[in-house]
């Protein structure tokens, strides 16, 4: 995107020193991408925290980067492709050392994170913490650009958010008793409530254009199919039910914010439509395998053993990830990420709603 238009430096003389204060001005068409979420969007923030939820080892990253970056895929993630389509560089992880330049955006996403602070607490950067990081960035931009130009910059930027799946999967992969105390509707309400509050906080800082995906049949990922007794190929329907409730509640919340929040606009990629078509006709999308992961072990390679670093050392690895929709037990391949990103970028209204992301970057 456009480069910096102007640097102005002012020399401030004090009794004991000379201070240099520089302000920057950006071109009118300058735009940035800010990213929040979980492993679907994490480019490597978890490399810099104490957690087992990392992908900084082989075979992650094997196809595009040729080395592990921390992305849970064989290559690029959705935000990487969106940045490419918008003529931006790869958006770096916020925690990457030496990363202090935010005029093209930054990525706060953390593998394992949820909208609820209790989800994988202590091992991830939860959504509330991601928001606090964004506020620090916004403060720095105001100091560098001045209040008016920082607000213009933040209002023109695009905000990608993908979170919630860990909130819904964790209760069934741990010894959680949460559904003894909350109905499914109440639990989804808490997830959506936290997400909504975060969106409102970003809006208060200047954010206006937001991009989301709804959930497909989460209970059909290899990780959860492997948990179904008898390995019959059936999906984990309790998680699918939560996904449907989430999709309905998220749509309602976004429609309400569109009415109540000044200049609030959103793009919604209907992942459930894409996955439904994919499941019916994988070959149409260029895949041979949509049930089993490329990397992992056990039924459907649904045990999270890819790379042998999470308690299970033995794992299988396919010879060609481009033939697989899923790269590991919970995450899709680079090829799948590219297809989804293309639909988010320029998909028709029945896939993205009134706005696709391409339109956002042109507004």
Catalytic residue among 30, 38, 39, 80: 39
The CA distance from 316 to 298, in Å, is 9
Identify whether the C-beta of residue 200 lies closer than 8 Å to the C-beta of residue 258. no
Residue 99 confidence (pLDDT):
73
Q: How do residues 44-93 score in pLDDT, each as one tens digit? A: 999 999 999 999 999 999 999 999 999 999 999 999 999 999 999 999 99
Evaluate whether residue 263 is within a structural domain: yes
Q: How do residues 165-196 score in pLDDT, each as one tens digit? A: 999 999 999 989 999 999 999 999 999 999 99
Catalytic residue among 30, 246, 269, 331: 331
Evaluate whether residue 71 is within a structural domain: yes
Give the C-alpha distances (Å, rounded to integers) separating 9 from 30, 104, 140, 167: 21, 22, 17, 47
Evaluate whether residue 15 is within a structural domain: no
Q: How do residues 238-290 score in pLDDT, each as one tens digit? A: 999 999 999 999 999 999 999 999 999 999 999 999 999 999 999 999 999 99
Reply yes or no on whether the pLDDT at 15 is more than 80.
no
Which residue from 82, 37, 87 is spatially nearest to 356, judged by alpha carbons?
Answer: 82
Residue 34 confidence (pLDDT):
98
Which residue from 42, 79, 34 is spatially nearest to 340, judged by alpha carbons?
Answer: 79
Catalytic residue among 38, 42, 126, 328: 328
Q: In this structure, what are the phi and psi dihedrals at residue 186, rounded to the nearest 5 degrees?
A: -65, -40
| Catalytic status, residue 73 | no
Evaluate whether residue 3 is within a structural domain: no
Give the C-alpha distances (Å, rounded to integers) separating 239 from 165, 242, 244, 259, 273: 9, 5, 9, 31, 17
Q: How do residues 295-311 score in pLDDT, each as one tens digit? A: 999 999 999 999 999 99
Number of structural domains in the chain: 1
Evaluate whether residue 314 is within a structural domain: no
Per-residue pLDDT, averaged over 339-345, amounts to 98
Evaluate whether residue 310 is within a structural domain: no
Reply yes or no on whether the pLDDT at 143 is more than 60.
yes
Reply yes or no on whether the pLDDT at 10 is more than 60.
no
| Catalytic status, residue 328 | yes
* Boundaries of domain holding 250: 33-221+229-283+333-361
Evaluate whether residue 101 is within a structural domain: yes
Strand bridging mode 18-26 / 265-269 = unpaired
Reply yes or no on whether the pLDDT at 17 is more than 80.
no
Question: Strand locations in 312-356, DSSP E?
Answer: 316-317
User: Taking all residues of the chain, what is their mean pLDDT, rounded to a whole number?
Assistant: 92
The answer to whether the peptide bond before residue 59 is cis (omega within 30 degrees of 0) is yes
Evaluate whether residue 129 is within a structural domain: yes
CATH number at residue 131: 3.40.50
Q: How do residues 146-167 score in pLDDT, each as one tens digit? A: 999 999 999 999 999 999 999 9
DSSP SS3 for 317: strand
């Amino acid at each position: 995107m456009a480069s910096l238009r102007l640097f102005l430096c002012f020399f401030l003389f004090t009794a004991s020193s000379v201070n240099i204060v520089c302000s920057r001005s950006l071109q009118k068409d300058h735009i940035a991408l800010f990213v929040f979420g979980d492993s679907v969007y994490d480019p490597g923030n978890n490399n810099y925290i104490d957690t087992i939820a990392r992908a900084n080892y082989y075979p992650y990253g094997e196809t595009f980067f040729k080395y592990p970056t921390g992305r849970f895929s064989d290559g690029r993630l959705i935000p990487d492709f969106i940045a490419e389509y918008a003529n931006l560089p790869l958006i770096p992880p916020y925690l990457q050392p030496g990363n202090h330049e935010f005029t093209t955006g930054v990525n706060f996403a953390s593998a394992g994170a949820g909208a609820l602070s209790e989800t994988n607490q202590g091992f991830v950067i939860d959504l509330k913490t991601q928001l606090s990081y964004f506020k620090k960035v916004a403060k720095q931009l105001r100091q560098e650009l001045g209040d008016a130009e920082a607000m213009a910059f933040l209002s023109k930027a695009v905000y990608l958010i993908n979170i919630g799946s860990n909130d819904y999967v964790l209760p069934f992969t741990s010894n959680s008793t949460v559904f003894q105390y909350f109905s499914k509707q109440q639990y989804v309400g808490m997830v959506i409530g936290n997400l909504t509050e975060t969106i409102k906080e970003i809006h208060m800082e200047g954010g206006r254009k937001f991009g989301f995906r709804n959930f497909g049949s989460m209970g059909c990922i290899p990780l959860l199919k492997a948990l179904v007794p008898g390995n019959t190929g059936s999906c984990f329907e309790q998680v699918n039910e939560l996904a449907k409730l989430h999709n309905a509640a998220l749509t309602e919340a976004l429609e309400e914010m569109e009415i109540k929040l000044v200049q609030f606009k959103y793009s919604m990629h209907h992942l459930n439509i894409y996955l439904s078509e994919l499941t019916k006709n994988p070959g149409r999308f260029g895949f041979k395998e949509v049930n089993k992961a490329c990397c992992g072990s056990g039924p459907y390679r649904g045990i999270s053993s890819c790379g042998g670093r999470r308690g299970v050392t033995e794992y299988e690895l396919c010879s060609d990830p481009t033939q697989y929709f899923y790269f590991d037990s919970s995450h899709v391949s680079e090829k799948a990420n590219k297809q989804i990103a293309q639909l988010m970028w320029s998909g028709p209204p029945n896939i993205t709603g009134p706005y696709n992301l391409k339109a956002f970057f042109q507004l």
